[in-house]
């Protein structure tokens, strides 16, 4: 689907007609050719430079959250019990309101505000769950039952258009998504998709589409870190090291190798608790698919002299690609193999530097382990990490 993406750019539910299309008439729910054109216009609104402009807004939203955590009551044992899911929901709600709708919200201190309650009901109400299942899995029924992807969009519309009108009158530049939409509105238009009227509002729905996955990812990552103090300590050290070097700036998060362990921790949270279980794609034309016969299934076990942990794999082992070298007798009863784990660019562009980072974080228990793994890497002629195990045998 990646190599031939032009043939798999449409989704099954995309293009379905709804009474309220805030959640569908955007990149999430359009089909070609409108989708392709819209993608070329929306992608530049989320570039590195644009995200850097939004960074102050993100940190601003974090201030009420920190105040909420500091003043959170303790139980009888003097321990603060924080609901990670609720915390993530509130932060993501305020983030969407600020970035996508250009409006300040504070769900931490005012949880009963209309916007906060609407978002909560959208993702937790039983009717909404039924509606979402219908939209994604049986979109053909939408025209019959009139399902709306966004429960009560009247409030969202009011907030959005108030922000748009106020921004055009005052000329204020806030660095949010509203600024980008105004640029698209006054730019050159295309008949495939014009940035005018309701089409401007529909783009804010893209952020709502990512609400659940973002908040769920944060929730489970926080939960896993709370349950594994060793990795929590390493992640905190990684953050402090980046802040000491760059300060509380966008560069602290985006510079090469900055907060790399934190990034790997989040990736591990996604691996253990994926918020999206399926990928919905439709072919635009006939596509020939080769069949593969699976002979045996073997599990892969990574070994970097780490302590065994049944619940979570060390985040330092995330983002590696697997390559295997087969012996001549690989298909024999002994099933011998030479597994190799290759580090990818998302782990480190340079293996020696990556190895130093792992050693600094305490991933290796001794210098001997580091030298052994480095020797294996040099002998193989590539950027490899040590591993052992056998792999799934596939015949085309």
Q: What is the DSSP string of 192-209?
A: TB--STHHHHHHHHHHHH
List beta partners, residue 301: 388
Three-state DSSP class for residue 21? coil
pLDDT in the model for residue 225? 92
Whole-angstrom distance, CA of residue 320 vs CA of residue 342? 6
pLDDT in the model for residue 396? 35
Mean pLDDT, each 10-residue run in order, the chain (396 residues)? 73 61 73 84 88 91 93 89 91 91 90 78 70 73 62 74 91 90 90 86 81 89 91 93 91 82 89 81 77 50 41 47 34 38 39 52 45 46 37 36
pLDDT in the model for residue 68? 94
Structure tokens at 195: 């940035």
Whole-angstrom distance, CA of residue 293 vs CA of residue 331? 14
Residue with token string 């939960």: 223
CA distances from 132 to 135, 209, 285, 301, 360 (A): 5, 11, 27, 38, 46
Of 208, 203, 155, 157, give the one whose Cα is nearest residue 179. Answer: 203
DSSP single-letter state for residue 310: S
Q: What angle do CA 46, 192, 146 make, to 5 degrees?
A: 85
Whole-angstrom distance, CA of residue 371 vs CA of residue 384? 13
Q: Give pTM, 2 decimals.
A: 0.69
Alpha helix segments (H runs only) across the chain: 34-42, 48-70, 84-99, 114-124, 126-137, 142-145, 153-170, 177-185, 198-209, 211-227, 229-246, 251-254, 260-272, 351-360, 367-380
Residue 266: Cβ within 10 Å count: 19
Structural domains in the chain plus CATH codes: 2-207 (1.10.630.10)
């Amino acid at each position: 689907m990646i190599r031939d993406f032009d043939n798999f750019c449409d989704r099954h539910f995309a293009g379905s007609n709804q009474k309220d299309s805030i959640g569908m008439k955007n990149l999430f729910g359009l089909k070609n050719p409108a989708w392709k054109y819209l993608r070329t216009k929306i992608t530049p609104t989320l570039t590195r430079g644009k995200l850097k402009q939004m960074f102050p807004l993100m940190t601003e939203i974090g201030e009420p959250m920190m105040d909420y955590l500091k003043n959170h009551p303790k139980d009888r044992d003097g321990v603060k019990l924080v609901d990670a899911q609720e915390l993530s929901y509130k932060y993501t709600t305020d983030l969407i309101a600020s970035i996508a709708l250009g409006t300040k919200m504070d769900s931490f201190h005012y949880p009963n505000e209309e916007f906060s309650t609407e978002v909560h009901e959208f993702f937790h109400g039983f009717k909404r769950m039924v509606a979402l299942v219908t939209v994604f899995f049986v979109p053909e029924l939408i025209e019959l039952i009139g399902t709306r992807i966004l429960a009560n969009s009247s409030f969202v519309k009011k907030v959005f258009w108030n922000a748009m009108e106020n921004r055009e009158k005052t000329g204020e530049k806030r660095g949010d998504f509203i600024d980008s939409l105004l640029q698209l509105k006054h730019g050159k238009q295309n008949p495939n998709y014009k940035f005018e009227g309701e089409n401007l509002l529909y783009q804010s729905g893209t952020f709502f589409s990512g609400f659940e996955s973002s908040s769920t990812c944060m929730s489970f990552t926080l939960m896993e870190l709370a349950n594994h103090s060793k990795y929590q300590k390493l992640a905190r050290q990684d953050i402090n090291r980046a802040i000491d070097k760059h300060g509380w700036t966008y560069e602290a998060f985006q510079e090469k190798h900055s907060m790399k362990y934190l990034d790997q921790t989040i990736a591990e949270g996604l691996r253990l608790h994926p918020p999206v279980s399926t990928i919905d794609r439709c072919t635009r034309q006939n596509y020939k698919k080769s069949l593969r016969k699976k002979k045996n299934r073997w599990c892969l076990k990574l070994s970097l002299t780490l302590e065994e942990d049944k619940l979570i794999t060390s985040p330092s082992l995330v983002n590696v690609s697997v390559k295997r070298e087969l012996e001549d007798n690989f298909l024999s009863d002994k099933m011998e193999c030479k597994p190799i784990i290759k580090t990818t660019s998302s782990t480190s562009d340079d293996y020696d530097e990556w190895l130093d980072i792992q050693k600094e974080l305490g991933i290796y228990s001794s210098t001997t382990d580091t030298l052994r793994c480095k020797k294996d890497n040099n002998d193989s002629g590539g950027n490899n990490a040590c591993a052992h195990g056998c792999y799934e045998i596939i015949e085309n």
